[in-house]
Structure 1
Amino acid sequence: MEELIATAALTTASRRTPQEIYESLKERKERVRKILKGIILKHGTVLEHNRLVFLAEADEHEMLSTLLANRFFEATRLGERTWLLSCSLRIALSVLVDNPDVPEGLREGLSEALREVAPTIWGRVSGGGS
Protein backbone atom coordinates (compact mmCIF):
# COMPACT_ATOMS: atom_id res chain seq x y z
CA MET A 1 0.00 0.00 0.00
CA GLU A 2 2.90 2.38 0.64
CA GLU A 3 3.80 2.51 -3.06
CA LEU A 4 0.19 3.39 -3.88
CA ILE A 5 0.14 6.21 -1.33
CA ALA A 6 3.43 7.59 -2.66
CA THR A 7 2.12 7.29 -6.22
CA ALA A 8 -1.00 9.26 -5.31
CA ALA A 9 1.12 11.96 -3.68
CA LEU A 10 3.44 12.27 -6.70
CA THR A 11 0.65 12.13 -9.29
CA THR A 12 -0.55 15.57 -8.25
CA ALA A 13 2.73 17.19 -9.34
CA SER A 14 3.98 15.04 -12.22
CA ARG A 15 3.43 14.75 -15.95
CA ARG A 16 3.98 11.00 -15.76
CA THR A 17 1.02 8.65 -15.53
CA PRO A 18 0.17 7.01 -12.21
CA GLN A 19 1.24 3.66 -13.67
CA GLU A 20 4.67 5.04 -14.66
CA ILE A 21 5.16 6.54 -11.21
CA TYR A 22 4.06 3.33 -9.47
CA GLU A 23 6.38 1.16 -11.59
CA SER A 24 9.36 3.41 -10.82
CA LEU A 25 8.58 3.43 -7.09
CA LYS A 26 8.31 -0.37 -6.76
CA GLU A 27 12.09 -0.61 -6.94
CA ARG A 28 12.83 2.51 -4.87
CA LYS A 29 11.76 1.64 -1.32
CA GLU A 30 13.84 4.42 0.24
CA ARG A 31 12.16 7.02 -1.99
CA VAL A 32 8.76 5.68 -0.93
CA ARG A 33 9.74 5.92 2.76
CA LYS A 34 10.96 9.50 2.27
CA ILE A 35 7.67 10.52 0.63
CA LEU A 36 5.60 8.87 3.37
CA LYS A 37 7.61 10.48 6.13
CA GLY A 38 6.64 13.86 4.67
CA ILE A 39 2.91 13.23 4.22
CA ILE A 40 0.62 15.06 6.61
CA LEU A 41 -1.42 12.52 8.56
CA LYS A 42 -4.58 14.62 8.79
CA HIS A 43 -7.82 15.28 6.91
CA GLY A 44 -7.58 16.16 3.22
CA THR A 45 -4.61 14.00 2.22
CA VAL A 46 -4.13 11.02 -0.07
CA LEU A 47 -4.56 8.81 3.01
CA GLU A 48 -8.33 9.17 2.57
CA HIS A 49 -8.37 7.60 -0.89
CA ASN A 50 -8.13 3.92 -0.04
CA ARG A 51 -10.02 1.29 1.92
CA LEU A 52 -8.90 -1.14 4.59
CA VAL A 53 -11.30 -4.06 5.00
CA PHE A 54 -11.34 -6.35 8.02
CA LEU A 55 -13.17 -9.49 9.03
CA ALA A 56 -14.02 -8.84 12.67
CA GLU A 57 -15.41 -10.94 15.50
CA ALA A 58 -17.54 -8.90 17.89
CA ASP A 59 -20.89 -8.85 19.60
CA GLU A 60 -23.38 -6.05 18.92
CA HIS A 61 -22.20 -3.98 21.90
CA GLU A 62 -18.55 -4.15 20.78
CA MET A 63 -19.49 -3.20 17.22
CA LEU A 64 -21.62 -0.30 18.45
CA SER A 65 -18.63 0.94 20.50
CA THR A 66 -16.50 0.76 17.37
CA LEU A 67 -19.01 2.68 15.27
CA LEU A 68 -19.37 5.31 17.99
CA ALA A 69 -15.57 5.68 18.20
CA ASN A 70 -15.58 7.06 14.67
CA ARG A 71 -18.54 7.65 12.39
CA PHE A 72 -16.49 6.85 9.29
CA PHE A 73 -16.27 3.13 10.01
CA GLU A 74 -18.59 1.01 7.91
CA ALA A 75 -19.84 -2.34 9.19
CA THR A 76 -21.85 -5.15 7.65
CA ARG A 77 -23.07 -8.07 9.72
CA LEU A 78 -22.11 -11.41 8.19
CA GLY A 79 -23.11 -13.68 11.07
CA GLU A 80 -23.96 -13.66 14.77
CA ARG A 81 -20.47 -12.45 15.82
CA THR A 82 -18.91 -11.89 12.40
CA TRP A 83 -18.69 -8.48 10.74
CA LEU A 84 -17.10 -6.92 7.70
CA LEU A 85 -15.55 -3.66 8.92
CA SER A 86 -13.93 -1.04 6.71
CA CYS A 87 -12.38 2.41 6.90
CA SER A 88 -9.80 4.54 5.14
CA LEU A 89 -6.18 4.56 6.24
CA ARG A 90 -6.65 8.08 7.60
CA ILE A 91 -9.53 6.93 9.81
CA ALA A 92 -7.45 4.02 11.11
CA LEU A 93 -4.67 6.49 11.97
CA SER A 94 -7.11 8.88 13.60
CA VAL A 95 -8.52 6.14 15.80
CA LEU A 96 -5.05 4.98 16.84
CA VAL A 97 -3.77 8.49 17.60
CA ASP A 98 -6.83 10.43 18.77
CA ASN A 99 -9.30 7.91 20.28
CA PRO A 100 -8.00 6.39 23.53
CA ASP A 101 -11.43 4.92 24.35
CA VAL A 102 -11.79 2.52 21.41
CA PRO A 103 -12.12 -1.17 22.24
CA GLU A 104 -8.68 -2.71 22.81
CA GLY A 105 -9.25 -5.42 20.19
CA LEU A 106 -9.95 -2.74 17.60
CA ARG A 107 -6.81 -0.82 18.55
CA GLU A 108 -4.71 -3.99 18.28
CA GLY A 109 -6.26 -4.97 14.94
CA LEU A 110 -5.78 -1.54 13.39
CA SER A 111 -2.21 -1.30 14.64
CA GLU A 112 -1.34 -4.75 13.30
CA ALA A 113 -2.93 -4.00 9.91
CA LEU A 114 -1.18 -0.65 9.66
CA ARG A 115 2.17 -2.20 10.57
CA GLU A 116 1.68 -4.71 7.75
CA VAL A 117 0.39 -2.49 4.92
CA ALA A 118 2.08 0.83 5.76
CA PRO A 119 5.05 0.21 8.09
CA THR A 120 6.56 3.67 7.54
CA ILE A 121 3.37 5.41 8.59
CA TRP A 122 2.85 2.92 11.45
CA GLY A 123 6.33 3.82 12.69
CA ARG A 124 5.43 7.50 12.69
CA VAL A 125 2.33 7.05 14.85
CA SER A 126 3.58 4.26 17.10
CA GLY A 127 7.01 5.63 17.87
CA GLY A 128 8.43 2.54 16.19
CA GLY A 129 10.73 4.50 13.88
CA SER A 130 10.76 2.84 10.43
Structure 2
Amino acid sequence: ESQYQPMVTNRKTLLEGTPQSFQEGWTTAKKDINTLKFELESVKTKYLELQHDMENLQKNFDKVMKQKHTSAWTSGWKKLSKLTKITNGENHDIGNHIPTSEEQIKKNARRWRNSIS
Protein backbone atom coordinates (compact mmCIF):
# COMPACT_ATOMS: atom_id res chain seq x y z
CA GLU A 1 0.00 0.00 0.00
CA SER A 2 2.81 2.43 0.69
CA GLN A 3 4.07 2.24 -2.92
CA TYR A 4 0.82 3.79 -4.27
CA GLN A 5 0.59 7.59 -4.19
CA PRO A 6 -2.73 9.18 -3.32
CA MET A 7 -4.73 10.63 -6.22
CA VAL A 8 -4.15 14.36 -6.75
CA THR A 9 -7.38 16.18 -6.02
CA ASN A 10 -6.80 19.77 -7.07
CA ARG A 11 -5.42 21.39 -10.21
CA LYS A 12 -2.72 23.45 -8.49
CA THR A 13 -1.09 20.39 -7.00
CA LEU A 14 -1.27 18.65 -10.38
CA LEU A 15 0.40 21.60 -12.15
CA GLU A 16 3.14 21.80 -9.51
CA GLY A 17 3.92 18.13 -10.09
CA THR A 18 4.08 18.56 -13.88
CA PRO A 19 7.46 19.43 -15.43
CA GLN A 20 7.81 23.05 -16.66
CA SER A 21 8.56 22.03 -20.27
CA PHE A 22 5.31 20.06 -20.44
CA GLN A 23 3.35 23.03 -19.07
CA GLU A 24 4.91 25.34 -21.69
CA GLY A 25 4.16 22.83 -24.45
CA TRP A 26 0.57 22.55 -23.27
CA THR A 27 0.17 26.35 -23.22
CA THR A 28 1.62 26.61 -26.72
CA ALA A 29 -0.69 23.84 -27.96
CA LYS A 30 -3.74 25.61 -26.50
CA LYS A 31 -2.71 28.86 -28.23
CA ASP A 32 -2.25 26.99 -31.51
CA ILE A 33 -5.66 25.37 -31.15
CA ASN A 34 -7.32 28.74 -30.51
CA THR A 35 -5.50 30.30 -33.48
CA LEU A 36 -6.58 27.43 -35.73
CA LYS A 37 -10.19 27.73 -34.52
CA PHE A 38 -10.15 31.44 -35.40
CA GLU A 39 -8.65 30.75 -38.82
CA LEU A 40 -11.24 28.03 -39.44
CA GLU A 41 -14.05 30.47 -38.64
CA SER A 42 -12.50 33.04 -40.99
CA VAL A 43 -12.30 30.47 -43.79
CA LYS A 44 -15.92 29.42 -43.17
CA THR A 45 -17.03 33.06 -43.40
CA LYS A 46 -15.09 33.63 -46.62
CA TYR A 47 -16.50 30.39 -48.06
CA LEU A 48 -20.06 31.50 -47.32
CA GLU A 49 -19.38 34.88 -48.96
CA LEU A 50 -17.99 33.15 -52.04
CA GLN A 51 -20.94 30.78 -52.13
CA HIS A 52 -23.32 33.76 -51.99
CA ASP A 53 -21.40 35.53 -54.77
CA MET A 54 -21.47 32.36 -56.87
CA GLU A 55 -25.26 32.06 -56.45
CA ASN A 56 -25.70 35.70 -57.54
CA LEU A 57 -23.46 35.19 -60.56
CA GLN A 58 -25.38 32.04 -61.51
CA LYS A 59 -28.71 33.90 -61.26
CA ASN A 60 -27.39 36.75 -63.41
CA PHE A 61 -25.99 34.30 -65.95
CA ASP A 62 -29.32 32.46 -66.11
CA LYS A 63 -31.14 35.77 -66.65
CA VAL A 64 -28.80 36.72 -69.49
CA MET A 65 -29.16 33.31 -71.13
CA LYS A 66 -32.95 33.42 -70.76
CA GLN A 67 -33.05 36.89 -72.34
CA LYS A 68 -30.95 35.70 -75.25
CA HIS A 69 -33.44 32.94 -76.02
CA THR A 70 -36.72 34.78 -75.45
CA SER A 71 -35.98 38.36 -76.46
CA ALA A 72 -37.97 39.53 -79.48
CA TRP A 73 -35.18 41.90 -80.40
CA THR A 74 -32.46 39.29 -80.56
CA SER A 75 -34.60 36.73 -82.34
CA GLY A 76 -35.67 39.47 -84.75
CA TRP A 77 -32.07 40.40 -85.46
CA LYS A 78 -31.22 36.77 -86.05
CA LYS A 79 -34.10 36.49 -88.52
CA LEU A 80 -33.08 39.73 -90.22
CA SER A 81 -29.51 38.59 -90.59
CA LYS A 82 -30.71 35.35 -92.18
CA LEU A 83 -33.03 37.21 -94.55
CA THR A 84 -30.46 39.76 -95.63
CA LYS A 85 -27.65 37.27 -96.08
CA ILE A 86 -26.94 36.60 -99.75
CA THR A 87 -25.31 33.33 -100.69
CA ASN A 88 -23.18 32.81 -103.80
CA GLY A 89 -25.99 30.86 -105.48
CA GLU A 90 -28.35 33.82 -105.18
CA ASN A 91 -25.87 36.42 -106.45
CA HIS A 92 -26.11 35.63 -110.16
CA ASP A 93 -29.89 35.10 -110.08
CA ILE A 94 -30.70 38.65 -108.94
CA GLY A 95 -30.65 40.33 -112.35
CA ASN A 96 -32.26 37.46 -114.28
CA HIS A 97 -35.19 36.72 -111.96
CA ILE A 98 -38.67 37.84 -113.03
CA PRO A 99 -41.28 37.40 -110.26
CA THR A 100 -44.18 35.08 -111.07
CA SER A 101 -47.76 36.11 -110.39
CA GLU A 102 -47.86 33.81 -107.34
CA GLU A 103 -44.76 35.47 -105.86
CA GLN A 104 -46.26 38.89 -106.60
CA ILE A 105 -49.48 37.96 -104.72
CA LYS A 106 -47.48 36.71 -101.72
CA LYS A 107 -45.50 39.93 -101.69
CA ASN A 108 -48.62 42.12 -101.83
CA ALA A 109 -50.56 40.00 -99.33
CA ARG A 110 -48.10 40.73 -96.53
CA ARG A 111 -49.85 42.56 -93.70
CA TRP A 112 -48.08 45.01 -91.47
CA ARG A 113 -49.08 45.45 -87.86
CA ASN A 114 -50.79 48.75 -87.09
CA SER A 115 -49.10 50.92 -84.52
CA ILE A 116 -50.89 51.27 -81.18
CA SER A 117 -49.52 54.69 -80.34
Whether the TM-score (by the shorter chain) exceeds 0.5 is no
Q: Radius of gyration: which is bigger?
A: 2
Higher relative contact order (CA 8 A, sep 6+): 1
TM-score calculated relative to the size of structure 2: 0.16
